[in-house]
Amino acid sequence: MDEKDTYKTKRFFILTFSITWICWFAAPYLGDPLNSDATFLVLMLIGLMTPFAIALYLILASKSTRLKKTFFNKLLNIKLIKPRSIPLFLVLFPASIIGAILVSTLFGYSLDQFTIVEEFSFSIGTVPTFLILLLAAGFEELGWRGYAIESLNSKLNYFEATLIFGILWSLWHLPMFFIPHSYQAELLQEDFLLVANFFISIVPLAFIIGWFCKKNSGSILGAVLIHFIINITQEFFQVSPYTKCIQTVILIVIAVAFVLADKKMFFEKPQGQAASL
């Protein structure tokens, strides 16, 4: 990237990380996470909305009419999503967890993991977990697909942009490990291997969601759909957290397969659109 483009990309990630981390690290200390008081909820919501808020600010503040039109088209145009691609992703993530459960039986884990859960594996105060999963998918992808990936891909090929983004995306979740009763906090209390698996698993997910977006003309709505499917799938069965380590391996295999099957898309030269970002 040239100096100007690098500055714009860094500005997005620095602002996003700074605001999110400040809010999320402060939330359990300034507010009451167990009872979800107003202070806690507001800080958590601001942190969650930050990727979208920063992306929207940078896009609206730009002088590029084309950039603005492109963003809102990707956000609102449902026709960008190709119907034939939906069944694949409705099946892909449930299949990955089912496959992981079956493989886990070779290591002594039970088929009882196929039991459908009666309640979610985590909670944040009194906020409905289903709502948390939906909002997380929406606000994250509005920022990631609305600006972050495009910014990186303007001067890097799609493989490099996705790899860098995947690493940054995983690190963005760091404060969640210190939010009482969050999914990440539960992992931290149990085993550091599970913490490492959480960070690693996000990278192949970045490639898989990225592939879907490219195949659907960059649809942000499509990305939100896939992200939400991933979130719900992870909570559907009573799966051992160690089985999810096996699922990560399966997701890595799937991501590698997508990259190898679509080398042109991932490795073609960037389009050089950074000037409009």
* Helix (H), strand (E) counts: the chain: 12, 0
CA 220, CA 146: separation in Å to the nearest integer? 7
Residue 90 has pLDDT above 90, yes or no: no
CA 121 to chain centre: 18
| Predicted pLDDT of residue 259 | 97
The pLDDT tens digits for 134-145 are 888 889 999 999
Residue 213 has pLDDT above 70, yes or no: yes
Beta bridge partners of 116: 237
Per the prediction, the chain carries an average pLDDT of: 88
Residue 1 has pLDDT above 50, yes or no: no
Question: Do 237 and 115 form a contact (C-beta atoms < 8 A)?
Answer: yes
Per-residue tokens: 273? 């659109």
Q: Which of 159, 183, 148, 127 is nearest to 255 (CA)?
A: 159
Output phi, psi for 104, to 5 deg: -65, -25
Q: Is 127 helix (H, G, I), strand (E, B) or coil?
A: strand
Catalytic positions are 140, 173
| Predicted pLDDT of residue 274 | 44
- For the chain, the structural domain boundaries read 3-276
| Predicted pLDDT of residue 170 | 97
CA 251, CA 65: separation in Å to the nearest integer? 38
The pLDDT tens digits for 215-272 are 999 999 999 989 988 888 888 888 999 999 999 999 999 999 999 999 999 999 876 5
Greater confidence (32 vs 275) lies with: 32
Region of 175 (left: φ > 0; alpha: ψ -120 to 50; beta: rest) is alpha
CA 177, CA 19: separation in Å to the nearest integer? 17
